[in-house]
A and B are shown apart, each in its own frame.
Chain A
Amino acid sequence: MTNPYIILGVSQDSNKAEIMKSQMFAMKKKEFPLQVIAVAAKQLLDPAKRLAADFMFPAKIKVKRIQPIQCNLKHKEINTDSLNENAFNSLK
């Protein structure tokens, strides 16, 4: 089932007149069968059904723009040479 907005090529905010106009346009374009176009138009002209079509658009979640992470930590070279391997010599 293709979304009626896509079939008619209209935006989610289009009004009744725009929907009817787009129906004519879609029929001329012949991208979809006439019956499909008629059903799509009927759906968008019925507010309850149009709301069902709107349901299929993903909900936009309000989120913040990510800022680069500020980090005060500095890289330091690791030196293992200074370690005393005989520190716990158990034979002495």
Chain B
Amino acid sequence: MGVIIVLIIVGVVGYFIYQSLPNTKYEKAKNLFNTKDYTQAINILNEIVEKHADAPAKLAECKLSLGQQASGKTEKTKYFTEVTALRKKISNSATFAKFDSIEAKALFELSKIQYEEAKGNIEKLSQNIRFIDTANQKGSESNFSSLKTKHFSDLAGSHFKKATEKENAGKHSEVIDAIQSYTTARDYAKKSNNSLIVNNSTSRILICQLKLSQSVSLVGSSEIEKSDKNYQKELYFRYAIHLLKNKEFSEAEKIISLHLNFQAADIDKLKEILRTEKVNNAVKIVAEINASIDKLYNSTLSTEELKSFYDGLDTASDELGIIDYELSEKIADIKPTLFNRLLTKNIENEEYNEAVNIIQKYPKFWESPELLKNLGICSYGLAAKGLLSERNYKIVISGWLTSVFSDKVILKSLDDTTWDDNYTFSLTEAIGSNYALHEEIPDNVNYDEVSESNISIGATQKELLQQFETIIHKEIQDTKLSKLVNDFYDNEKDAIEKIIAQIENDVFFATPYFAISNGLNNEIISELDNDYNTYSNEDALEAGVSYIKNSTSTVVYQYFFANDLIDRVKSAIDNENSGTIKKLNTKDNKKWIEKFDNISCTVEDNLFNSISNKISENDENEKLMSVMEECISFSNHNEKLKHQFSNYVANYCISKVNDEKIDNFKALSLMKGAYLRSPNNPKIVKNFITLIRFNLMDMLNDQTRKTKDIYNILDWVKNNMSQTYKQNSDELSKARREILQQLKQSGADISLFDDDNPLSRLHLNLGQSLNAQGLKMKRVLTYLKELGNDQKSTNPLDALSRLRQQLNLDDDLPF
């Protein structure tokens, strides 16, 4: 019994000892914490805070939870502060890590409480930001960051409010302070992404600057447009006044029309000032113009002043048009007189470039024979004075030709003289004349025969052209420029002559450059299209090609396109690019070519000539063969091309085989193409047959590895023997006979080599057979027989015809 009692006592004591151990207590506290009994847990943890390493962190966690549960600010603050005070109780580093995150949460909670108290108070908000910045944030960084952003946003609002109060006070110094506060508000707003305050601060800063009469720039500020509408209204109004005071009237007008476009008496006042300024400006402009007119008729206006006067008229007329339309019209009316004065001065002073410039700027100058004539004179002057350059030669030449080719211009010369009163003038030989279509013709002009008293206008035009040509042929020293000028002249002249020859209606004849530069080309193209549509006249289309700019829907363009296709093929021939020709060989492309007889009839000759040029450069160019094959396929008419191809291939093969540059098999392969395209050309056929013999001999003598390929070609030949082939295949039969003769002489039984021979079958029955060499010999002899004229195919021409038909080679050879 005593033992039992002792054991019980020991057990009880042991239990109490166990219960009082720190680990046991810590576990108990943890359980209490998990059941959210923080107060009991705190009591236990307080007992072991010095004895258990993890106790302070757990204690802090309990206090943090209690703080979070607490409702009063004071109580919350007490718990969170107690959490932070526990740091000093921690002794080991592992516990520090746990504690850090709990402390950060407590500090965050404290920051939140302080933020709530600081709202609207710049000083307190700033203080709390400092608190946040120095606080341990471990594990709660994003919470602190968001809280800090809230502070910035609050500070932005507070500073903005402070700024408006200062600005409202209205004193100079306070407005300066307000700018500072708006700037601070904008900075905080930027940090907190508060775009409203950013935009509003920007507008208010500008308003304050305008209040202080500082210069401002509203350019490129997108923030203004997003700011408060009333702020914008005030800003733009103040800015408009600022601009008006600085006499920046056009800028002020822009601001008013763009941003102050609403009804208000104060806005009307601004508009009235603008109108007054315009009236004043108009009065000034008119005074200046009148002063210039005075100088013009007193002959004291220099050419430069005249030019500047003339150049400024359009702007002056536009400016006055806003105030007084009639006044603007009066100004515009003086332009032709000034233009004439300036042009006359330019021509007198031989300032031809300037003269050409102002003529070209004159609206529809080509409709005035006088201006067109003066353009011709200036163009001639530039050429005669050696002033042609790479920059101006196109304008000069097109201007000259268009001028001289206009009979109206030539007839204009008759108006200014009296020497010609005893003469009449005939347009019979005139170039570019469409006077016949005019209702009125001058009294001294007719279409009668040229005589001593009836002078040829055409002769005058030719004289002028000849004079100009003499200059450009002989007097341009720079060789490159001379070529450019003369080539361009020839092309322009050729083109205008072509359209004159085609067009019957009364249109303005101009050279291509002139027409395209002045937008006259479409009318010309339209006339040529009509001519084609009425008379199927392809020459009219040909004439229009130079006048194409972007008129893709016209027949002239289609004609150009078809021609261009041929040019592209020719270019591909030149570059030996068979792939390009293959790509161009489409149904649609061929359809365009076939539409125009002029083009389709000359395709073959064009390609033939291009290929001939290539052959003349190098007559042993194997690459050219594929190009030629593509050309045969491209051209619907191709007999000449086939003949050209076959001969080229044959010559190539003969030369290369003789020089041993290619083997017999390659030559046979190439010649197969030639034979296919010219199956009845004796030269081709004979050479092809010779190559067949060579290849059979090569096989017999083991001089080729291409046995299979050779037999393939020979099998094809068996089925594709032309009449000419049959007539010339004796060479093969002869070769066979010679071989058999040699075999016979050497004692061989030649009946073994001929399946048709009944003895051959007898031998076979007797078990006599040929060895490998013998079988090879037999095969060669069989092919010699079948390809020679000993063997006739049943209907070989039909098969060849079919193949040729598939390859677009169905026509008979014309040679």
Contacts and interface: CB of A to CB of B under 8 A. Distances in A.
Interface of A: 1, 12-15, 47-52, 54-61, 63-71, 73-76, 78, 80, 82-85, 87-92
Most buried by A among B241, B269, B413: B413
B279 A80 contact: no
B290 A91 contact: no
A73 B294 CA distance: 20
Interface pairs A-B: 6 shortest CB-CB: A59-B370, A90-B230, A48-B459, A87-B266, A52-B463, A63-B337
A61 B415 CA distance: 11
A70 B282 CA distance: 12
B460 A90 contact: no
A80 B327 contact: no
B410 A55 contact: yes
Interface stretch (B214-222, B418-426, B507-515, B799-807): B418-426
A59 B455 contact: no
A60 B416 contact: yes
A48 B337 contact: no
Contacts of B244: 78, 80, 83
Contacts, number: 166
B277 A83 contact: no
Interface residues of B, number: 81
B164 A91 contact: yes
Contact of B337 (A60, A66, A71, A87): A66
B340 A61 contact: yes
A69 B164 contact: no
Contacts of A12: 416-417, 419
B374 interface: yes
B233 A90 contact: yes
B368 interface: yes
B269 A82 contact: yes
Given A76-B276, A80-B273, A88 B230 contact: yes
Contacts of B425: 51
Interface of B: 164, 167-168, 207, 211, 228, 230-231, 233-234, 237-238, 241, 244-245, 264, 266, 269-270, 273, 276-277, 279-280, 282-284, 286, 289-290, 293-294, 296-297, 323-324, 327, 330-331, 333-334, 336-338, 340, 343-344, 347, 368-371, 373-374, 376-377, 380, 384, 404, 409-410, 412-414, 416-420, 423, 425, 455-457, 459-460, 463-464, 467, 470-471
A64 B464 contact: no
B282 A58 contact: no
Nearest to B290: A68
Contacts of A65: 297, 337
Contact of B410 (A13, A51, A90): A51
A61 B370 contact: yes
Contacts of B370: 59-61
Contacts of A15: 419
B460 to A, nearest CB: 4
B323 A73 contact: yes
B356 to A, nearest CB: 13
A23 to B, nearest CB: 16
